[in-house]
Amino acid sequence: MKYLSNNREINVGARTVFQGPDPLHVEPQVFDLILYLVENRNRVVDKDELLARVWKGRVVSDATIASRLNAARRALGDDGRRQEVIKTLSRQGFRYVASVRVEGDTIGRPAIAVLPFVLVEGDDRDDHLSRGLADQLAAALGQAAWFDVRDTAASFAPEVSELSPSEIADRLQVGYLVMGVLQSTAEELRLAVRLVDPADGRQVWSGSLEGSRSDIFGIQDRIASRLLGEIEPRLRRLELQRSESHHGNYSAFDHYLRASDILRPMDLPAMRAACFELDKAVEEFPDYAAAHGMRAWIATLLLPQGQRVDAKAELERSRLAVSKGSFDCDALAMGGYSLGFFDRHPLTGLDYVRRALAINPSSSRAHDHAGWLLLYSGSPGEALEHFDRGLALCPLDEFGFRMLTGRAFARLYRHDYRGAIEDARRAHAVAPDYTVCHRVLIAALAHNDQMKAARSALKELLKINPRLSVARYAKETRFEGPQDRETLFSGLRLAGMP
């Protein structure tokens, strides 16, 4: 996203002010000040607000504020006498008064560049191999729609290779770099890959793979799968931290990240707070398909909490997510799941989730949604495969307990009661207020003749949702298989659910 004003370009992603093609030297705190004023240009910002937002509550002198304002004005082609860009209003504060044109949407996605892999201890004739692997990896990473991957024509340019990581990031306007080293012999290849935050040189993720030359495509697929599966949660958390530390204002993407982070406990307050953030995201960017999809998905989670949901409105939201996000894995996965849930035709939604997996086979979230829809349609065996795959792809996923809960249902329906208890207890330990987990745990315990533990779990569930009954659950659940329903509800009755 860029703000164009007074012959300057304020590039939010690169955190740089440009005059024509040339970047200007702007101190980070001065850039924060410029960005905060331009984003709040419709009003006067007082000194106390600047101290809270730009200086993070620290007490600084009036001289320090004046110094930073003068530096901001110089960067924007203004000065304290003319005040044509930033105006000081006596006893009121400061306001950005120059005209501003916004370029790019407010989704604010991070960007990644894949650099050519360095070839060591091998034949120089393998140089094409090191570049080809990096190029194919960039193409694979492009499957994840929530971040942008720079074209390798830019990241492979000769003038880029001599720069430092931070200089490369500035030149390509990216937040992360993928760097690798390829070792080759006549028979074997070994590839070590790192994801680096160039701002401070921190290594966000690293991994290595090796194999025979004949398995070159397998190596490529495995490293892409691991990158997509393992770094996604780390990147989301880093981007959230960045958005909070910059200045306190959030783009649509920041609100989406915050919703995902807030939702982790899966309790009622978390769901409500996440919905608030998603509404803000859609307000900023009305066609934000993934935000619509997550909002509809949360509505499916509100029902087990005993909350009223407008099924018709959520169905429309689900349809918007899959139509606007036809190439967005997250939008298709969450929107497809919600569509299958609210339309009461799981297989209809499953088609969209499978499309999400075609775009990004390494999405643990998409495997999770596919597993649940398969459970609803009466295919616990196939569902179990998706839950296992999702957990293997990303064992650190914040929503892993949901996949464990799905595994517990799949094992319950296959009459593996001990396995169901094990998975349900693991999920419950992470998310004790996730009521769906209580239900499968209670049924599995009851069928395994552990009645005391089943009644204790039921008592805990009814504290969270006191109005829940077997009849109510039977009406709201989407499980279609007659035998599956009988296994679940007979277990709940055995434990004493009214």
pLDDT digits (tens, 9 = 90+) for 8-27: 999 876 678 999 888 898 98
- Domains, the chain, in order of start with CATH, read 2-103 (1.10.10.10), 111-231 (3.40.50.10610), 250-397 (1.25.40.10), 411-498 (1.25.40)
Evaluate if residue 240 carries a pLDDT over 80. Answer: no
Q: What is the pLDDT of residue 105?
A: 53
Mean pLDDT (the chain) is 86
Percent of the chain at pLDDT above 90? 45
Residue 214: partners with Cβ closer than 8 Å, 6 or more residues away = none
Write the pLDDT tens digit of every residue in 349-376: 999 999 988 877 778 889 999 999 999 9
Closest among 231, 259, 275, 273 to 114, alpha carbons compared? 231
Long-range contacts at 477-480 (CB < 8 A, ≥ 24 apart): 478/340, 478/341, 478/344, 478/346, 478/376, 479/375, 479/376, 479/378, 480/346, 480/376, 480/377, 480/378
- Greater confidence, 486 or 237? 486
The helix (run of H) or strand (run of E) holding residue 182 is strand 176-184
Evaluate if residue 231 carries a pLDDT over 70. Answer: no
